[in-house]
Structure 1
Amino acid sequence: MSIQTPRPLWRRRGAACSAALLLAGAIAVAPSLASASPTTPPLTIDLATAGVPEVRTALENGELTSVQLVQAYLDRIRDLSIGGPHLNAVRSINPDVYEEAAQLDAERAAGTVRGPLHGVPVLLKDNIDAVGMPTTAGSIALADSFPAEDAPLTAQLREAGAIILGKVNLSEFANFITSGMPSGYSSLGGQVLNPYDASQTPSGSSSGSGAAAAAGLATLTVGTETSGSILSPAQANSVVGVKPTVGLSSRTGIIPISSSQDTAGPMVKTVYDAAALLTAMTGIDPEDPATADNPLVDVDFTEGLSETALEGARIGFVSSNNALYQAALGELEAQGATLVPVSVGNTSAPSILVQEFKRDMNAYLSRLPDDAPIKTFDEIRQFNIDHPEGRKFGQVYFDQGAQVDLDDPDQLAAYEANRDRGITETRAAIDSVLESHDLDAIVSNSGTTGVGARAGYPSVSVPIGYAANNQRPSSMVFLGTAWSEPALLSLAYDYEQAAQVWRSPEQINPSLFRCATVEDAWSDAACLTIPVPGSGTPTDPVDPEPSDPGTSDPEPSESPEPTQPPAPSEPGPSAPPAPGPGTPVAPSTGALTDGARGGISVPDIVIAGSAVLVEVGERYAGTTVNGWLYSTPISLGAATVNAGGVVSFVIPADVEPGAHRLAVTEADGTLIGWAAIEVLAPGTPNTAGLAATGGEVLVGVGVGAVALGAGGALALMALRKRRVTA
């Protein structure tokens, strides 16, 4: 097999994996990871930018093993998705990931390589079945919904040698539970953040796929689309997204919206990676009739990539005033393309998504094991009615879908007429433009997303740069007729290699990632003053709660009893140093008056030697603050407030048990607030803390924290928070 290696799109830099950090939020990780995790050697590749060629070369040359690569990605997930900027992109980790990686290492050592993705880690959107992990679609109702077998897509990736690293968060039910819900939010997974700008939407519904791909949390990432759910987050997160022809890849084993429009596709850093992943995803599935006539089953999309594909090509373009898009059009011309202005119509046929939703959801659920907790569309809807935390924004589309009855002849006839008309008109709109102007493809800034989705035609989104005023990403979308993926990928590849515009989130927005790059987490420059001293015992996960402003959060469900990691040997209690240049000054005890009480929120109870999550408010996000414990002031060090307004401190192991006051100050010593907290001796079961009601429940970035030690073991500390008002 000939393998084309593209030129890198970035400057090489050393990998930036910090020491083990205590992680705010919660992620589901299987207990088997505790004993199996290896030590990661110094990396020869930068995971922030590495794609398939770099990873494959490192594996082939013996620079690292797949097991070590898995551990490196888990470290990165720990540092970026759960800790640091708290992207919240990753939902769960494959419980057998180390065993599967070790098996692939053994096969490689024996001279067997399954395919071009042998040993390469992949993250799946959490609406795609993979054995050993629940497929949740971000819904509380499906939190324990385990499939009996892999989706065919997942099985094909394994056959190609890929390692299923885990699942990523998404807009709940692929953004088809209700209207008005923020992109990237789900009742089970919480809110995904955009790694380029945490104040901006990650878009969706493949929000976690886009954020994980951009942040380098796996080599490859898979998303799904019904209408815009790959292309839109690809643009928002500055990654390459491929929305394939409906039928290129199996949809069996994927939680659906619409069998007429659903498809899965790559969301990755480069066009080459997209081509490599799409090659492994392509196939014919007897259970999915749309794949029956797939003519691209045996095509290796990487072999068709060319840096001269644009030379002599005719490209129709939909006009846009976006300056980056205008520059991208100029690059197409510079590469030899002829540009033709076009407009692409759409259809006036009503959407058929609601009409197909219940039918297709029931078809998926019927494949689950007999003991699955949820087996029908109506059961999901009723679960959400019975559990309001599962429908904070409502469930409009479930309510509408519940009214659809395709066994009714009149409803069926109306649905089929709208479906057929919509497909016919959108395909004609695209094909007529391509044919009348003799075009190889149509490009737009994003204006062809809807028509391409309704037609079931392929699109490839490629980054085109970052706005001069705010550095937010933009993309260009290549649209073609059915089964034109080879041409679209090659055209996009030529542009990408010529333009060389992609930059990692760490390059565009370094301030968001500074917490994950400090070498000494106890230094004055540290963003997090909480290296975890050793590994703990894993427990069942506590799922993160959303931090959506303007919504009232429900009382969290009962959390498992926490397992405490070993107490740190340092830092012990220390009186604050004498003031000097740059030295934080503790507020006097007299300053902690009842009038100054509040401003922060803390757990009622914390165990000495463990970390405590303190909410100081989003207005302090990105600022460095200092923590103090009273009555004798004990410095808890400096830490940076994350995007959710939460900061973490470690309570020294030898603090005297009993009632204390925890205060937080700004860097100049200004008191932000203080709150009462009870410190228990190390090793004390925190059952009292779990039983306490504590007043109003605060859910900021989650009601749990996961500690990941240097060896990779996990310990979950359930924290019941209370709101302290000023």
Structure 2
Amino acid sequence: MVQYSLADIFFEHQRGSVMGLRGWRSIGWIGAICCGGLLGVMLFTLEETAFDRVAYLQRQNNPESGEEPEKHHQSQQLEYATDVGELENLGAAIREKRKPYLQRMKPVTPALPSKQQLFRGFIYRLRHSPRCFLYPAVLFSGLQWGAQITFLTFYLSVEDVQYYAPPWNYSDKAVAIMGVPCLVGLLVGIIYASVFADYFVVWMARKNGGILEAEHRLWLILPSSVIGSLGLLLFGFGTSKHSWGWGVPYFGLGCIGFTWGCAGDISLSYMQQVYSEAILECMVGVAVINNIFGCSLTFAAGPWLDKRTPIEVFSVLAETMDGRFLEFDVVEASLEDIQAALTTGTVTSVQLVAEYLRRISIYDCHGISLNSVPIINPSVFKEAAASDDRRAAGTPLGPLDGIPYTAKDSFKVKGLTVANGAAAFEDLIASTDAYTIHALRAAGAILLGKTNMPPMAAGGMQRGLYGRAESPYNANFLAAAFASGSSNGSAVSTTASFAAFGLGEETVSSGRSPASNNAVVAYTPSRGNISTRGNWPLYSLCDVVVPHTRSVSDLFGLLDVIAQPDSVTKGDFWRHQALITLPQPWQDKPSSFYNLREGPAFPKLRVAVPDMYTTNANMGGGDIDGVYVSDAVLDLWSRAKTDLESLGAEVISVSDFPAVTHYEAYAHIGSEDKLGMPKNWKQVERAQLPALAWHEFLQENDDPLRKSLHGIEPQNVWPFRDKSDPQVQFFKTENAVLWDNLSEFVTELAAQEPPITTQYQVPGLKQAVTAVEELRKTLLEDWMAKHQFDFVVFPAVGDVGHADADVSVEHARHAWTNGVKYSNGNQALRHLGIPSITVPMGVMANKFMPVGLTIVGKAYDDVRILRLGYLYEQASKRRVVPPLTPQLPTTFFRVETQHGRPHLENMKCLSTSLGDGGNIEVAVSGTVKPARGNASQPFVQVHVDGEIVPEIDIQLSEEDSQVYSFISTVAVPAPPERPAREEVQGKTARDRIMIMVLASVAYGKPTGWLGFV
């Protein structure tokens, strides 16, 4: 039997040793006598059977092979016989002549003849039998038994330590009596797994048309899982809560005994039914898995067990039994998943922050070095701890409380730098929060860090102050479009699960393009739907905030917070201007955006698809030339079209998309008047308007060291001055900001009469804003109404650029091709204020790079656009997890959150070069002060560059009854030297060593600390 194995004998020995030390010395002898007695019974009373199953089955299946037809027919009748007499006849037919006792009891007897004789047969089984270890039912049964061994070990350890000591002070007899509820539960479990289980599977077979299936037995596992989890929790909490009395842990032991008595046997019976023809090999497999898993887990968990309280130990076991603890991981975790984990106490916000920082350290700073989050919020653990305290007090701020996120470096975050990717503003400190940061802070969300971008957001994948983010899908390709993808860090950090979501921005396609290349969702709102106050502007008429999420559902949860009215308009161009009247935003907004998940699909949906984005065209070099579309994107579109049609949509190809084609025909310097704008307006938008917008931003921020554009070196704002540099070689001059004259523009405009000191005073602005609004109405909305189109959809890009487009002229030329340099729709969508949502459409077969599907609609029809985005996502489910940033082994542990956290004080970290080829010695030290009323010895966990420092390398000592000090010294590799093209001017997390310290005490929440050297 599987129970009679080395592991079980070992635990009998351990139990005997413990009881012997406590005075129950006979326990060891009784165990040895029982084992010896069972061995004697097996050797001297259980004879070996000699039934040749193979030969018997051959006779049944092949009557022609020597057996007379009549006898074969009789044997078939015997096979289907069901009454007692027939069964007796069957037994008589196959029973061999009885042999003498000694011959029957031989420990070794010759094997029956078969095709595989002696050594050949042994080799055959040796080669093929290990396959059974991978059979699902064998793995399930072996792990079930191994888990039960682990549970028993933990119970014995707790019983030994806790119940002989205060406050229980049990005697030997009282400890022994604790086995009674286990025995009662065990007997009930045995009856449940045997008699009741047999009745149950027969009943299920009758319900199943007379067909008995092995899986019917698995339903019986579910109650044992719930009862076992309940028992573990009751025993753990009951042991720690002496005031609850002895009944609670005793009842818990009864539930544990019940599960011990039935779960393993049910899984074993299931395995025997599934693999009845290979039962011997499978039993061996179960025994091996049982021993390896049970013993390994027990010994591996020993140090952890010594430091944990009964509540922690048995809470973890309970969650392991019902599967919730092992299933949670930050990778791909939705906002609702994370909120549920925080609410149930599965994790704390401090632990979430630590887990995300581990991923950033291992994947973003080292290893593949994605470099998407160069700035880490130094207060992140303090903010997470405050969230945990609010939750413990029952006063969370909202559904995002405690959830970490990232924001582009263009968002103001009070107390952090807001460099906007430019060296000129490396030390610019934000005096206030941007509106979206303020809204998220008020909702309790935790800013983890700020994400990478090119200088001033004026491009896509040019390397800025902190470099650029790289692709977690394929290192050979770009994480965003080269000409417009400045929110590349936000999209990369979101798709790689470095945070729950990210905040980006868009002026041309800087939010959509990174979303497409990283299989995340991007929403570009109608004007005024999300406040842009507190964000660095670029082209004020175009700028919008773009949330990045891994699903449309997560986008809904985020919009519930950030798509709220902002009472302050200054700093948001469209909401503050008084030149024209805009519609009120969100007139049809639901009470919660999550409600958009409910309801039927759109009836009689008509969707337009511009041919220029879904057919091969010439490889154009300018906006009005043909759009490059790769075959791989066409394949993805073909599948997306089918997905849309599955929603009942009529997908209609159209030869023209006026909002883009007509706009691009005249959106050039000197031709703007044909679009209703002032002549040469494009130059004004790239000169006077950004100069005034940036000057106003700096004045409003009021940093004493940088209050205006005056005195700024243009080279430090936009460093790409060499026109032969592949990063800008193919950049159209008329689209470039006039970097060298920004300060002069501000001075000259202020000297005019009357002075021009704000964007709203620039001549021609009213004509321009009126024109872009009218263009959208005529070129898009009237066109859609004329043809009765509900939406326009198209692939977000025609192809993705190569990662070395910053150094390779050939690849730069491709990266700057129409259809590749921007997201499709180019400048028109943002200039005209056209809302959209981009949802993952799949992965290109030839490059393993994601591509998105963009859905656009009429202005202020955002709710319906979001709804269709959700429906398409659910019908397609094309998001693919990035392969270069897989899950890490989790470091979560269950805590009892109603108790206080310790204080980490006097924290120091120092580094010293070891001079041995690049290693650095890192020393981190500090003191841990337990919360008031909790004097337990703290547990300290140290992470260096994402790796956990072994406990043996952490020296913890007690200074007095209320303070513990610790120090840890480890040698780690120094940050590697980067190739010249990857070197950055700014100070990034990538180029430093990250140290995290987590401290907790018995029953308490963890406290975190973050440092860099």
TM-score by shorter chain over 0.5:
yes
Correspondence 1:124 to 2:407: yes
Return the match for 1:296 from 575, 583, 586. Answer: 586
Q: Deviations over 1:682-722 (max 9, x none)?
A: 999xxxx9xxxxx99967556933143565766655xxxxx
User: Do the aligned residues in 1 keep the contact of 2:836 with 2:855 (CA within 8 Å)?
Assistant: yes
Residues 192, 207 of structure 1: 8 Å contact kept: yes
CA change 1:291–1:160 in 2 (3 A) is farther
Q: Superposition pairs for residues 58-69 of structure 1, below 5 Å?
A: 58-69=341-352
Equivalents in 2 of 1:354, 1:289: separation in Å? 16
Kindly tell me: are residues 276 and 127 of structure 1, through their superposed partners in 2, closer, same or farther at Cα, counting changes over 3 Å?
same
Identity %: 27
Whether 2:770 is the aligned partner of 1:458: answer no
Query: Aligned partners of 1:81 and 1:389: how far apart in 2?
Result: 29
The one-letter code sitting in structure 1 at the alignment partner of 2:450 is K
Q: Which residue of 2 aligns with 1:309?
A: 601
In the TM superposition, what is the alpha-carbon distance from 1:495 to its structure 2 partner? 0.7
In structure 1, the residue matched to 2:360 is 77
Question: Is residue 2:398 matched to residue 1:140?
Answer: no
2:636 corresponds to? 324
For 1:207 and 1:150, the matched residues in 2 are separated by 22
Q: Mark the CA change 1:219 to 1:171 in structure 2 (over 3 Å): closer, same or farther.
A: same
The answer to whether the 8 A contact 1:224-1:230 is kept is yes
Taking the TM superposition and a 5 Å limit, the aligned residue runs for 1:528-607 are: 563-564=911-912, 606=918
In the TM superposition, residue 609 of structure 1 has moved relative to its aligned partner by 4.7
Give the secondary-structure state (helix, strand or coil) at the position aligned to 1:79: helix
- 2:714/2:740 contact within 8 Å kept: no
Deviations 1:505-552 (A, max 9, x none): 02xxxxx347x85899xxxxxxxxxxxxxx99778xxxxxxxxxxxxx
Partner SS state of residue 407, structure 2: strand
Mean Cα deviation higher: 475-484 or 301-310? 301-310
- Structure 2 residue identity aligned to 1:130: V
Q: Does 1:421 align with 2:753?
A: no
Deviations 1:433-490 (A, max 9, x none): 2211222221111333432211112110001001122222111111112222211111
Q: Which residue in 1 is equivalent to 2:476?
A: 199
User: CA 1:428–1:138 in 2, change beyond 3 Å: closer, same or farther?
Assistant: same
Report 1:500-515 matches (<5 A). 500-506=877-883, 512-513=884-885
413, 429, 432: which one aligns with 2:782:
432
Cα pair distance change 1:696/1:273, threshold 3 Å: closer
Q: For 1:260, which of 541, 555, 579 is the aligned residue?
A: 541
Q: CA deviation digits over 1:622-647, x for unaligned, max 9?
A: xxxxxxxxxxxxxxxxxxxxxxxxxx
Distance (whole Å) between structure 2 residues aligned to residue 152 and residue 126 of structure 1: 14
Q: Is the 8 A contact 1:129 1:135 kept in 2?
A: yes
Distance 1:326 1:607, change over 3 A: closer
Aligned partner of 1:334 in structure 2 is 646
Tell me, yes or no, if structure 1 residue 357 matches structure 2 residue 357: no
What is the CA–CA distance in structure 2 between the aligned matches of 1:235 and 1:457, rounded to whole Å?
18
| 2:443 is the counterpart of 1:155 | no
* Per-residue CA distance 1:370-413 (angstroms, 9 max, x = gap): 41x22223444447289999999799542365565666699944
**Does the alignment pair 1:398 with 2:398?**
no
Conservation of the 8 A alpha-carbon contact between 2:506 and 2:545: yes
Question: What do residues 104-128 of structure 1 show as CA deviations (whole Å, max 9, x unaligned)?
Answer: 2222222223222122211111100
Structure 1 counterpart SS, 2:912: coil
Tell me which residue corresponds to 2:855: 478
Asked whether 1:443 is paired with 2:793, we answer yes
User: Number of residue pairs matched?
Assistant: 516
Give the corresponding residue for 1:88: 371
Distance 2:357 2:424 in 1: 27
CA distance in 2, matches of 1:173, 1:222: 16
- Asked whether the equivalents of residues 314 and 339 of structure 1 are also in contact (C-alpha less than 8 Å), the reply is yes
1:505 partner SS: coil
Change (3 A) 1:376 1:307: same
Q: Structure 2 residue aligned with 1:216, among 477, 489, 497?
A: 497
Structure 2: where are the runs of 5+ without partners?
A: 1-315, 317-324, 577-582, 616-633, 669-681, 729-735, 797-823, 892-904, 924-946, 948-968, 999-1007
Equivalents in 1 of 2:699, 2:767: separation in Å? 27
Q: TM-score, normalised by structure 1?
A: 0.64
> 1:95 touches 1:132 (CA, 8 Å); kept in 2?
no
Q: CA-atom RMSD, angstroms?
A: 3.9
Residue 471 of structure 2: SS of its match in structure 1? coil
Q: Distance in 1 between matches of 2:997 and 2:391?
A: 27
Q: Which residue in the other structure is 1:642 paired with?
A: none
Q: Which moved more, 1:442-451 or 1:167-176?
A: 442-451
Does the 8 Å contact 1:538/1:563 carry over to 2?
no
User: For 1:375, what is the secondary structure of its paired residue?
Assistant: coil
Q: Secondary structure at the match of 2:519?
A: coil
Contact 2:422 2:718 in 1 (8 A): no
Unpaired runs of at least 5, structure 1: 1-40, 177-181, 507-511, 521-534, 540-561, 568-602, 612-647, 649-681, 690-694, 718-726
How much does 1:172 deviate?
1.9
Q: Secondary structure at the match of 2:827?
A: helix
Counterpart among 493, 511, 521 of residue 230 in structure 1: 511
2:706 corresponds to 1:374: yes
How far apart, in 2, do the equivalents of 1:303 and 1:519 lie? 33
**Contact 2:424/2:712, CA 8 A, preserved across alignment:** yes
CA contact (8 A) 2:911 2:921 kept: no
Q: Is the 8 A contact 1:384 1:390 kept in 2?
A: no
3-state secondary structure, aligned to 1:90: coil
After TM superposition, give the deviation of residue 265 of structure 1 in Å: 1.8
- Letter matched to residue 245 of structure 1: S
Q: Which has the higher strand share?
A: 1
State the one-letter code of the partner of 2:404.
Answer: P
Q: Deviations over 1:547-591 (max 9, x none)?
A: xxxxxxxxxxxxxxx7339x8xxxxxxxxxxxxxxxxxxxxxxxx
Alpha-carbon distance in 2 for matches of 1:426, 1:295: 17
User: How does the TM-score come out when normalised to structure 2?
Assistant: 0.47
1:59 maps to a residue whose letter is L
Higher relative contact order at CA 8 Å, sep ≥6: structure 1 or structure 2?
1
Where does residue 339 of structure 2 map in the other structure? 56
CA distance in 2, matches of 1:607, 1:85: 19
- CA positional deviation for 1:232: 0.9
Task: Tell me the residue number matched to 2:959.
Answer: none
Q: Separation in 2 of the partners of 1:115 and 1:714? A: 26
Q: Which whole-Å CA distance do the structure 2 matches of 1:467 and 1:269 have between them? A: 18
8 Å Cα contact 1:310/1:494 also seen in 2: no
> Contact between 1:236 and 1:473, CA under 8 Å: does it hold in 2?
yes
- Secondary structure of the equivalent of 1:333? helix
CA deviation map 1:38-72 (0-9, x unaligned): xxx97742322111121111112211111111111
Contact 1:214–1:505 (8 Å) recurs in 2: yes
Distance (Å, rounded) in 1 between the aligned partners of 2:710 and 2:461: 24
CA–CA separation in structure 2 for the residues paired with 1:107 and 1:696: 43
Deviations 1:174-202 (A, max 9, x none): 125xxxxx61521x211210111122111
Greater Rg by CA: 2
Matches of 1:697 and 1:221, distance apart in 2: 28
Shift of 1:366: 0.9
